[in-house]
Amino acid sequence: MAFNTGKKGMTGDIEEYNAPAGSSKSFLGKTLNVTGEITCDEVLTIEGNVKGNIKVSKTLTIGANGYVEGEIKANDVKIIGKAEGNIDASGKLEISSQGNFKGSVKADKLVIEEGAVFKGEANMDSK
């Protein structure tokens, strides 16, 4: 399953993404509000609101309508919407041009597109 906005990159409601073969994907819609902890071993896209900690072994995408407040631990994190808290990405954190992040980041790689909002501190871990 892929979502396509007709545009390249991380623009639009949600980016087009492809999980590795054999991986499953989960999607939390924009009318969904979650309070609590989310843990999963798959690609996760959030378009709704989450208040709580998230632990994802693969890629977490916070879509254009998504808002996350809490601690995030994932392999890769892509922020198109808004997030507040601390992020521990063992791979890469990407903040799109319309993304907004406030908090602390620990990541191997950090990509911030022009126009993105980043308020906080970053710790780039060299392995």
Domain presence at residue 12: no
**Per-residue model confidence (pLDDT) at position 24:** 77
Domain presence at residue 64: yes
- 52-67 core/surface letters (b: 16 or more CB in 10 A; e: else): ebbbbbbbbbbbbbbb
Task: Note down the domain range covering 76.
Answer: 25-124
Domain presence at residue 111: yes
**Per-residue model confidence (pLDDT) at position 13:** 41
pLDDT in tens, 63-96: 999 999 999 999 999 999 999 999 999 999 999 9
**Per-residue model confidence (pLDDT) at position 81:** 98
Domain presence at residue 87: yes
Total of domains in the chain: 1
Domain presence at residue 13: no
Domain presence at residue 96: yes
**Per-residue model confidence (pLDDT) at position 25:** 86
Q: In a structure prediction context, what are the per-residue pLDDT tens digits for the chain, which is 127 residues long?
A: 233 333 344 444 444 445 555 567 889 899 999 999 999 999 999 999 999 999 999 999 999 999 999 999 999 999 999 999 999 999 999 999 999 999 999 999 999 999 999 999 999 865 5
Domain presence at residue 16: no
How far is it, in rounded angstroms, from Cα 82 to Cα 117? 9
Domain presence at residue 71: yes
Contacts of 92 (CB under 8 A, 6+ apart): 76, 77, 107, 108, 109, 110, 111
